[in-house]
Amino acid sequence: MRFDKFTLKVQEALQDAQSLAGTLGHQAIEPEHLLVSLLQQQDGIAGAILNKLNVS
């Protein structure tokens, strides 16, 4: 997988997910780690999409 082919936002999300997984003592990045990191992005689109869909 070529990390440099991802957008900067996705690269940041993957790095944050890896950090979160490590903090929690997990050896692998799971979808939950990536979701949390996407939702915590300041200018990310994931949170905006879920808000638009009235997901709470």
Instruction: Express each pLDDT in 20-41 by its tens digit.
Output: 999 999 999 999 999 999 999 9
pLDDT score, position 33: 98
Cβ neighbors of 30 (< 8 A, separation 6 or more) are: 21
Closest Cα to residue 46, out of 5, 3, 7?
7
pLDDT above 90 covers a percentage of the chain that reads 77
Give this prediction's pTM.
0.83
Give the distance from CA 23 to its chain's centroid.
15
> How many residues are there in the chain?
56
pLDDT score, position 29: 97
Angstrom distance (rounded) from CA 27 to CA 24 = 9
Between residues 56 and 2, which one has the greater pLDDT? 2
pLDDT score, position 44: 87
